[in-house]
Amino acid sequence: MRTLIASLAVVALVSASALGSSGVRQARPVSATAAPNVEEVLKAVRSDLQLSRTDIISKNVTLTAEQAAKFWPVFEAYQKEQNAIMDAQLKGLQEYVDKFDTLDDAGAMALMKTHLDRDQRMVTLRLKWLPEFRKVLPGKLAARVMQIDRRISLAHQVEFSSRIPLVE
């Protein structure tokens, strides 16, 4: 059962990174001798999520050269803070997968805390960074970027949640 759940979690994370991205992604070759550790998988998933997020925003927000020169460094800083939140969530999901067969009430509550903490941290992050986006973009563009970012995040969360079994 644990292997099934772990597989579902990895599939969810990898497939979520492809949500909304255009084109076909090539699978990365996996070494037959050494499986990647959890940290490597988390780093790869986070990188894919961030790259697809940047790609989607760049295709849906028209910026002048001057706006782009100012905005993308700000967005990159924003993404660095997102990384910490995403890592915490992915590690929480990994703990859930590792303990699924023996999950007790405390473990179930820890899973929910992980989800709710992530939600709260993302709202706090967006509230912090929206004014920063506004410093380099007109209000409508700043709002559009945040809307797109939020939609991508919500889509990823739905994908994650749909692939992770409910607590039994």
Q: What is the pLDDT of residue 64?
A: 97
Burial of 134 (0-12, 13-18, 19+ CB in 10 A): middle
Q: To 5 degrees, how large is the angle CA 44–CA 19–CA 160?
A: 70
- Specify if 168 maps to a domain: no
Q: What is the pLDDT of residue 99?
A: 83
- Specify if 29 maps to a domain: no
Tens digit of each residue's pLDDT (9 = 90 or more) over 68-127: 999 999 999 999 999 889 888 888 778 888 888 888 999 889 888 888 988 999 999 999
C-alpha closest to that of 149 among 83, 75, 87, 89 = 75
Q: To 5 degrees, how large is the angle CA 51–CA 4–CA 38?
A: 45
The residue behind tokens 């927000």 is: 61
C-alpha closest to that of 157 among 109, 121, 104, 106 = 121
pLDDT at 7 over 70: no
Q: What is the pLDDT of residue 90?
A: 81
The whole-number average pLDDT for the span 48-64 is: 90
- Specify if 67 maps to a domain: yes
Number of structural domains (the chain) is: 1
- Specify if 124 maps to a domain: yes
- Specify if 125 maps to a domain: yes
Q: At a CB cut-off of 8 Å and minimum separation 6, what does 156 contact?
A: 16, 17, 19, 49
Residue bearing the bigger pLDDT, 151 or 40 = 151
- Specify if 84 maps to a domain: yes
User: DSSP code of 31?
Assistant: -
Tens digit of each residue's pLDDT (9 = 90 or more) over 14-38: 444 444 433 333 334 444 455 666 6
Per the structure, the complete domain to which residue 117 belongs is given by 2-22+42-163
Q: What is the pLDDT of residue 86?
A: 85
The whole-number average pLDDT for the span 30-49 is: 64
